[in-house]
Amino acid sequence: METLENMQKAISSLDPCQLKVLLVTSVGIGGLLCYLALRKKTKNIPVGDGWWRVGEKPLSEDRTIRPFVVETSEEMIQDLHQRINQTRYTESLEDGRFHYGFNSAYLKKVAKYWRHEFDWEKQVRVLNKYPHFKTNIEGLDVHFIHVKPVQRAGQKVLPLMMVHGWPGSFYEFYKILPLLTETEGDFVFEVICPSIPGYGYSEAPHTQGFTCLDAARIFHKLMDRLDFSDYYVQGGDWGAFITCSMALMKPECIRGLHLNMVNAKAGGALSIISLLVGRYLPFLVGFTREDVCRIYPFMQKNVYKILRESGYMHIQATKPDTAGCGLNNSPVGLAAYILEKFSTWTDYKNRDLEDGGLERKFSLDDLLTNIMIYWTTGSIIPSMRFYKENMGANFQKTMDNTTKIHVPTGLAAFPHELLHCPRVWARSRFTDIRSYTYMPRGGHFAAFEEPVLLAQDLLQFVKKVESKRPK
């Protein structure tokens, strides 16, 4: 009380000019403190809960983690061979290349290799190279591989979850795993690669409405069940959406977020102005020369290219079961549908090649192993349904797509990604970008195409984050 009276006396003794200075200073300091408080305030999206079986959720759940082994049988292989033998082909148009979709002449070569040379039993042994597990979360048997590191003296072990997209699978990460779990340096990764529910060996939801938010929550529960309290996450395609949702849902658990596909934009009129001005005066809108090189060749024929390459999305976001029915019954049809994406999404110019450029970046064994994961599990339809569940009305305006992300973020911009996001746009959503790298080559399937480049970028990002963390 005495202190307050002394302050009042001191203020009353000031002349009007001094009082004015004090008032302005106080208001300024107060405003600055308010701004800093608001700026640092983070907005988390609700965690929620779910149950994806028909019927009521039981009072207790089985938290058991069970070993899982990929298996095959002679009956399965014979059925596959019979269906390949009975495939009906339509001849390609003269000089059609991949402009009409998957070239039929090359498709026959792929099918012939699949039927007579591809060794699925050998590839099953490759899949079982890493330990597989299943555990039941929210009524679904969730599949994942868990790869523990080769730890050297003095190395810190950092948990890392890597999430795939469509039409990929956990197998996309097989070439990058040794680069992350057997590294030299201050740290090494313990890697968990789950299959999104409805993909591969993860059980598909039995009820409607399963979205990226639900996958994010399930994957947080998986990490908790594995006794990890904080961890890194990495993803592209749907994996990028899911890991972003994980960062929004429980940011206290995310040490860092690394993406090779970025979902961010300047927003509304600002995006349009950026695109109009950026080509001629890029510095005014924060574009670099590399941004200009990557954005505008695509923008010249933007509408046509979007229509040409997004037909699958319209089908899967509206009536996935109809087209999926045919794909689930024809292995060659399934291969054509999926492998066409591995052609075009690796490099748009592959459309001009008779073989789609598929074997420039991939081996047929690797491509067909990914196809077999879909074929043997019958998961093509539930994987396509994921588009319908996520891409409802106002998809780009949902909370998980518009809320700012405050965890440390690393962005790897590959030159042949479907869409390029400049760093200046990325800042509109990611407030703590620790690294943004213009990758020298590669497209949409980064871990599958360029495992060394992706591993190097992930490692340098984590090194930056770890160097700033409290000891």
What is the DSSP track for 109-172?
Answer: HHHHHHHHT--HHHHHHHHTTS-EEEEEETTEEEEEEEE---PPTTPEEEEEEEE--TT--GGG
Helices marked H in 363-439 — which ranges?
Answer: 364-377, 380-390, 399-402, 423-426
Q: What's the confidence (pLDDT) of residue 291? A: 87
Q: What's the confidence (pLDDT) of residue 292? A: 85
Residue pair 343/350 in contact (Cβ under 8 Å)? The answer is yes
Q: Which of 387, 406, 416, 436 is catalytic?
A: 387
Q: Which of 171, 199, 201, 237 is catalytic?
A: 237
Reported as a single tens digit per residue, the pLDDT across 203-215 is 999 999 999 999 9
- What tokens were used for 348? 């748009």
Pick out the chain residues at pLDDT < 70: 1-43, 265-271, 297-306, 393-397
Q: What's the confidence (pLDDT) of residue 242? A: 97
Q: Which amino acid is at 311?
A: G
Rounded to whole angstroms, what are the CA distances from 263 to 260, 374, 415, 416? 10, 26, 15, 15
Q: What's the confidence (pLDDT) of residue 17? A: 52
User: How many of the other CB atoms lie within 10 Å of CB of 430?
Assistant: 26
Peptide bond connecting 67 to the previous residue in cis, omega within 30 degrees of 0: no
**Residue 303 burial by Cβ neighbours in a 10 Å radius (0-12, 13-18, 19+):** exposed
Q: What's the predicted TM-score (pTM) here?
A: 0.89
E-strand stretches of 425-471: 433-438
Backbone angles phi, psi at 315, to 5 degrees: -65, -50
Q: What's the confidence (pLDDT) of residue 39? A: 45
Q: What's the confidence (pLDDT) of residue 21? A: 42
Give the Cα separation of 209 and 216 in Å (integer): 14
Give the Cα separation of 265 and 237 in Å (integer): 16
Domain 65-70+128-328+378-468 carries which CATH code?
3.40.50.1820
User: How many of the other CB atoms lie within 10 Å of CB of 358?
Assistant: 21
Question: Does the annotation mark 444 as catalytic?
Answer: yes
Question: Does the annotation mark 387 as catalytic?
Answer: yes
Ranges in the chain annotated CATH 3.40.50.1820 = 65-70+128-328+378-468
- What tokens were used for 377? 């599990």
User: How many of the other CB atoms lie within 10 Å of CB of 318?
Assistant: 11
Question: Does the annotation mark 230 as catalytic?
Answer: no
Q: What's the confidence (pLDDT) of residue 396? A: 64
